[in-house]
Amino acid sequence: MAVTAHAKLDARALRRDFPIFEQEMHGKPLAYLDSANSSQKPRQVLDAVDRFYETSYANVHRAVHLLGERATSALEHARVRVRELLNAPDAREVIFVRNATEGINLVAYSWGLNNLGPGDAVVVTELEHHSNFVPWQYIARRQGAEFLMLTIDENGDPDLSELEAVARDHTVKVVATNLVSNSLGTIHDLAPLVSWAHEQGAIFVCDAAQAAPHMKVDVRAIGADFVAISGHKMCGPSGIGALWGRGELLRAMEPFLLGGHMINSVRVDKTTWGELPHKFEAGTSPIAEAVGLGAAVDYLEAVGLDAIEAHEHELAAYALGRLAEVPGITLYGPPAERRAGVVSFNLGDIHPHDVAQILDLQGVAIRAGHHCCQPLMQKLGVAATNRASFYLYTLPEEIDQLVDGLHAVRKVFA
Amino acid sequence: MSDPALESLYREVILDHYKNPRGHGVIEDADAEAEGQNPLCGDEVSVYVAFGEDGETIDDVKFSGRGCAISQAATSMLMEMTKGRTAQQVAELDKEELLAEIGVPLTPVRLKCAMLGLTTLKVALHKAKGTPLPEGLAGFDDLELT
């Protein structure tokens, strides 16, 4: 990967945009290594949300007054920014949802309930976040369809040699995988799976929640039919995400949530659905949150997604090198050049909860647990792992602080 | 250890129970048993109870499973605390009594770790003897009641 070709970002300068770093934790500098769980928010996003509430807030799409117009225009501007970020053909194909989980549930319910049946199969991988696993497992079972899981190797790559048997024995209707793994950090080359899915006549659903914060996600280049992202992982507010779907599929689908705003006309004998995207946005939207997401897109594009990706590869390489110095450590996942800023590890047989708690007392915030990836944990033969994850504001000395902390953990359990 | 917060949480008695758990193992043909999981971190505990001749007094109690130091040490302490008590007494055992035994300040997340063994034991007794279920069971969505 031509990392050196990209403009470098200045993490130290960017860090000053994030007010949360102005405080200490337990009297120690904060090393926030939990960005894959949720990212911190820059002043630019916080200000955009405040400004919107202070000057332009009203409900959208229905008020005649000027504030209503301003609010609607701010919401729709955010939709256009998300369309541009994802290189989607049409802003009407961008549906605002709470998060990627809700986006995938929308597809599973609205598409799955009308297109899946006995003899059909949904294919996921062993590396899915529960958000792209459990909805498919549930809807497949409800429809009497098969739910199949491709096994992965130690890098997190699915075993494509299993595809032939899957195609022989099943009518594959859905293939659902992540673009970047939240637990191993693996950046996938989805092209072979996308082509295979389309050869089967299946739809391809891409969970891009962990990819969108870190690299350019181009829905046309991926060739997917649905792509879901979460705002909170990419410097945006919590409670807002987006689902992009192919217009012809979205138009043919039944709605997911029903109620206000998503209708064309309502009569006691028949209700007709609104046009895209409204058909899928029942009730009052998280308006200010969407405005915040639009501001987050502005922020990420100003920093440069190429520069963010390069910064994370550098940090991942540095972290893998430094962590390997810690006696008794087990590192999981692919080599640095194939991973986003995520490093999962275990320290001997010390439980990740204990590791994370001792690190916390030293100002180091990491995730400990199953990362909503219990099938992966079963594969690795562990109950849980520790995960350190990095973002555009992460500094190498935070990784040093982590390594020092791990030595302290070893001392406690010596 | 020089950090006072660290020293107080991972004090010696916790580490001792974690490294040398009391009552660790399985009772074959147990009179009562249950399996508990903490969905937050994947900690798992199974408890096994054998009653004495009166059918009420806990003659032996053991646990197996895996988890963090807090969950395993607390369950280990619980084994020592409950042996010789009746099912009804254990069902009524106040969590504060166990917390006093643990004797370290716990954050809400770690409190769930500490309570896993006690909750699971109360579920086992409930299944075998119909004693009351523990308070706050709602927090343990994955507890297998069957």
Average pLDDT estimate for A39-57: 98
Q: Is B17 on the interface with A (CB under 8 A)?
A: no
Contact A384 B41 (CB under 8 A): yes
And the tokens for A223?
Answer: 């060739």
In this predicted model, what pLDDT tens digit does every residue of A316-375 receive, in sequence order?
A: 999 999 999 999 999 999 999 999 999 999 999 999 999 999 999 999 999 998 878 888
Phi and psi angles of residue A104, each rounded to the nearest 5 degrees, phi first: -70, -40
Please write the tens of the pLDDT for every residue from A218-277. 999 999 999 999 999 999 999 999 999 999 999 999 999 999 889 888 889 989 999 999
Nearest residue of A to residue B69 by CA position? A354
Which residue would you say has higher pLDDT here, A50 or A7? A50
Nearest-CA residue of chain B relative to A26?
Answer: B5
Report pLDDT for B138. Answer: 42
Query: How much is the pLDDT for B8?
Result: 78
The structural domains of chain B, with segments of one domain joined by +, span: 4-139
Query: A368 contacts in B (CB within 8 Å)?
Result: 41
User: Looking at beta carbons, which residues of chain B come within 8 Å of A408?
Assistant: 3, 6
Distance CA A344, CA A19 (A): 27
* Among the partner residues B9, B42, B44, nearest to A357 by beta-carbon distance: B9
> What's this model's pTM, rounded to 2 decimal places?
0.88
What topology does CATH give the domain A3-38+304-412? Aspartate Aminotransferase, domain 1 (3.90.1150)
Residues of A involved in catalysis? 372
A130 touches B: beta carbon within 8 Å: no
Please indicate whether, in this complex, the C-beta atoms of A383 and B43 are within 8 angstroms of each other: yes
> Between chains, do A411 and B67 touch, taking CB under 8 Å as contact?
no
Using a CB-CB cut-off of 8 Å, the residues of chain B touching A361 are: 3, 5-6, 9
- Per-residue pLDDT, averaged over A30-57, amounts to 98
When the pLDDT of each residue in chain A is averaged and rounded to a whole number, the result is 95
The pLDDT value given to residue B146: 36
Q: According to CATH, what is the number of the domain B4-139?
A: 3.90.1010.10
Enumerate residues 6+ apart whose C-beta is below 8 A from A273.
A254, A255, A262, A263, A264, A279
Can you give the pLDDT at residue A370?
82
Distance CA A101, CA A203 (A): 18
Contact A354 B68 (CB under 8 A): yes
Q: Is A412 an 8 Å CB contact of chain B? A: yes
B12 part of contact set with chain A, CB < 8 Å: no
**Would you list the domain boundaries of chain A?**
3-38+304-412, 47-301
d(Cα B77, Cα B100) in Å, to the nearest integer? 11
Would you state the pLDDT for residue B104? 87
The answer to whether A351 faces chain B, any CB pair under 8 Å, is yes
Beta strand A31-32 with A364-365: parallel, antiparallel or unpaired?
Answer: parallel
Angle between helical axes of B95-102 and B108-129 (0-180°, round to 10):
130
- By percentage, how much of chain A surpasses pLDDT 90? 89
pLDDT score, position B137? 62
- Which of A183, A373, A410, A412 is the mutation pick for testing B, counting most B CBs within 10 A? A412
Which CATH architecture best describes the domain A47-301?
3-Layer(aba) Sandwich (3.40)
Contact across the interface for B41 and A357, Cβ inside 8 Å = no
Q: Give the pLDDT mean for A298-324.
A: 97
Number of other residues whose CB lies within 10 A of the CB of residue A163: 20
Provide the shortest C-alpha distance from residue B69 to chain A (in Å).
6
- Nearest Cα neighbor of A398 from A7, A19, A28, A128 is A28
Q: Is the Cβ of A357 closer than 8 Å to some Cβ of chain B?
A: yes
Cα–Cα distance measured from residue B40 to residue A332, given in angstroms and rounded to the nearest whole number: 21
Collapse the DSSP code of B144 into the 3-class scheme (helix H, G, I; strand E, B; otherwise coil) and give the result.
Answer: coil
Beta carbons of A401 and A362 less than 8 angstroms apart? yes
Tell the burial category of A225 from Cβ atoms under 10 Å away from its Cβ (0-12, 13-18, 19+). buried
Of A26, A354, A408, the CB nearest to B69: A354
- Do A352 and B113 lie within an 8 Å CB cutoff? no
Residue with tokens 């529960």: A130
User: Does the CB of B67 have a partner CB in chain A at under 8 Å?
Assistant: yes
Domains A3-38+304-412 and A47-301 share a fold: no
Whether chain B has a CB inside 8 Å of the CB on A369: the answer is yes
Question: How many contacts does A have with B, using Cβ atoms within 8 A?
Answer: 57
Residues in chain B with pLDDT values less than 70: 1-2, 40-41, 135-146
Q: In whole angstroms, what is the distance from residue A291 CA to residue A269 CA? A: 37
pLDDT digits (tens, 9 = 90+) for A349-360: 999 999 999 999
Report the residue from A358, A369, A413 with minimal CB separation from B42: A369
Q: What is the ipTM of this complex?
A: 0.71
Cβ separation of A408 and B40 shorter than 8 Å?
Answer: no
Do residues A60 and A75 make contact, with C-beta atoms less than 8 angstroms apart?
yes
- Closest partner CB to A383 (pick from B5, B6, B42): B42
